[in-house]
Copies of this chain bind each other. A is one copy, B any other.
Amino acid sequence: MIDRTVPIDAAVSRFIRSGSVIMVGGFGRGGVPFTILEHLADHADAFADLTLIKNDASEPHLGIGPLLRAGMVKKLIATHIGLNPEFIGQMNRGEVECELVPQGIFAERIRAGGAGIPALLTDIGVDTEAAAGKPSVRLDGETYLVERALRGDVALVCADRVDRTGNAWWRGSNRNMCVVMATACARVIVEGKQIVEAGAIQPEDVQLPGVFVDAVVQAQPRRHMRTEAPA
């Protein structure tokens, strides 16, 4: 089996470019690849025009917040941005594009991207702003939206446990969007809180098989735990 562990700078420089479409795991703070995101924020000059696909906009000082604040992001596709008033301001001023998607459909579109399904039909969001600009079809007398697959260039997720070949396991509610995002991107970097040997996770309990994973990096204690509280 391939050992996919690499230093974080190698993984980032190999897979992420300006203009990359990046899926970022996490819901609230669970599953968010804080170490990789802090690394990106530390190299703000190297990465511009990113498109981020993430459940929520984080908080201004956390997760993708510093990337948004630094102007590294041209578009965010998300389901909820309410905890990041700075980003809402940027969006309202037209400085950044934001597409809001109902959360379950957000997950389904990503799944479709990963599962080779070009589009799915749904009635979620019919008669709302979420339907704006989307094609609709009639089937069996009902109107449905055609929701297209979402794919990314890179997925960044944080797992609680990952083996050297990339098989990953999440504790508690940390799984959220992480697994499905890892299926839907050309390259996948898993940040592991704990990196274990192949075989340490029972094969039935693997939540993300390593065949989807390109790089495994070690999670570091979060910045605010390493230094001072954030500004």
Contact = CB atoms under 8 A, between A and B. Distances in A.
Interface stretch (A65-73, A84-92, A137-145, A183-191): A137-145
The secondary-structure label for the interface of chain A is mixed
B115 A123 contact: no
Nearest to A137: B137
Nearest to A146: B139
A205 interface: yes
Interface residues of A, number: 27
Contacts of A202: 205
Interface string A156-178: 00000000000001111001000
* Residue of A123, A140, A146, A204 with most partner-chain B CB within 10 A: A204
B146 A118 contact: no
Contacts of A175: 204
A121 B122 contact: no
A114 to B, nearest CB: 12
